[in-house]
Structure 1
Amino acid sequence: MTTLTDRPTTGLMVIDVQQGVVDGAHRRDEVVAHIGELVERARRDGVPVVWVQHSDDELARGSDAWQYVPELVRAESEPLVHKSHGDSFEGTDLEQVLAAAGIGHLVVTGAESDACIRSTIHGAFTRGYDVTLVGDAHTAGDKSAWGAPPVDQVIAHTNLYWQFQTAPGRTAAVVGATDVDFTG
């Protein structure tokens, strides 16, 4: 139901699952395993996988912290979008990558739930995409020292409010990794 014309394809987005981003993140190994399973399923089913990689002053491009976790390996044919803002669309070629692949429905995974994930799902939705957040395939680090709720509550809240997002001609959903349907 995307509002984007000629975009019948569903694509899997893997956002910022980088060593320095998910080191110490809530349920890191479980989340990375879910993402790995989704990547393999997407590849097997011919679903495009789009990788997003963040860099900034604290996450220097080329550093060990900037590298994707070793459990997730991007295929050479899969697009990699470099970003320096929370919303993966801002200042990047993500829109062109998705348009070239005919993607109108994004299945979103990655880190961090309260920053780049939230910014990107909202950014995609306002740009006309259908957006499915994989509720057990996103995570964040603990920011309670700065007044944020515990990470499990941040993730639960993100999943809660996203399932109730509405807009004309678009859908928002939250599903578990085992329930992801790449055909719709």
Structure 2
Amino acid sequence: MTTLQGRDATALLVIDMQNGVASGLHQRDQVVATIDGLVTRARAQGTPVVWVRHQSDELPEGSETWQIIPDLVPAADEAVVDKRYGDSFEDTTLEDTLAARRVGRLVVTGAQTDACVRSTIHGGFARGYDVTLVSDAHSTEDLTQWGAPAPELVVSHTNLYWQFQGGPGRTAAVETAEEVDLTAH
């Protein structure tokens, strides 16, 4: 149902699963295993997998913290999009990458729920994409000492509110990794 004409493909988006981000994630190993399972399914079904990698003062390009975690390795033919802002579309090649693959639907995973994942699901939806958030394939770190809710509540709240997102001509959904369809719609 995307508003993007001629874009009937689905892509699996893996956001910021980097050494400097993933090390402190709530339920890290479970989330990584879930993402790995989705990547394996996407590859088997011919669904594009697009990796997003954040660059910042804390994650300088080329550093160990900037590298994608060794548990998840992009294939040679999979796009890796570098970004400097929370929204993976902002000042990046993501839109061109998705357009070249005729993608109009995003299946979103990664980190951090309350930052780059949230910014990207909203950014994609505002740009006309159908956006499915995989409820058990995103996470965040514990920021309670700065007044944030506990990470499990951040994940739960994001899953709750995203299922009620709406807009003309496009859809938002929340599905488990087991439920999500990675084929074109």
TM bracket (short chain): over 0.9
Aligned match of 2:16: 16
Q: Which residue of 2 aligns with 1:33?
A: 33
User: 1:71-86 maps to which residues of 2 (within 5 A)?
Assistant: 71-86=71-86
* Number of aligned positions between the proteins: 184
Equivalent-residue separation in structure 2 for 1:24 and 1:6 (angstroms)? 40
Q: Distance in 1 between the 2:58 and 2:19 partners?
A: 13
TM-superposed CA distance for 1:92, in Å, is: 0.2
SS in 2 for 1:177: coil
TM-score under structure 1 length normalisation: 0.99
Q: Does 1:133 align with 2:133?
A: yes
**Residue in structure 1 matched with residue 94 of structure 2 by the alignment:** 94
User: In structure 1, how many angstroms separate the alpha carbons of the residues matched to 2:140 and 2:24?
Assistant: 9
Give a deviation string over 1:139-168, Cα, whole Å, max 9, x none: 111111110000000000000000000000
- Counterpart for residue 182 of structure 1: 182
Unaligned runs of 5+ in 2: none
Whole-angstrom CA distance in 1 between matches of 2:171 and 2:142: 30
Amino acid at match of 1:28: R
Q: Which residue of 1 aligns with 2:154?
A: 154
Measured after TM superposition, the shift of residue 182 of structure 1 is: 1.4
Q: When the two structures are superposed, what TM-score results if normalisation uses the length of structure 2?
A: 0.98
Write the distance in 2 (CA, Å) between the matches of 1:56 and 1:91. Answer: 14
Q: CA deviation at 1:58?
A: 1.2
Q: 1: distance between equivalents of 2:36 and 2:135?
A: 15
Gaps of 5+ in 1: none
Query: How far apart are residue 126 of structure 1 and its match?
Result: 0.3
Match of 2:165 in 1: 165
Please state how far the C-alpha of 1:62 moved relative to its aligned partner: 1.0
State the identity as a percent. Answer: 61
Within 2, Cα distance between the matches of 1:132 and 1:22?
21
Moved over 3 A (4+): none
* C-alpha distance after superposition, 1:46-104 (max 9, x if no partner): 00000000010111111111111111010010011000100000010100000000000
Amino acid at match of 2:62: G
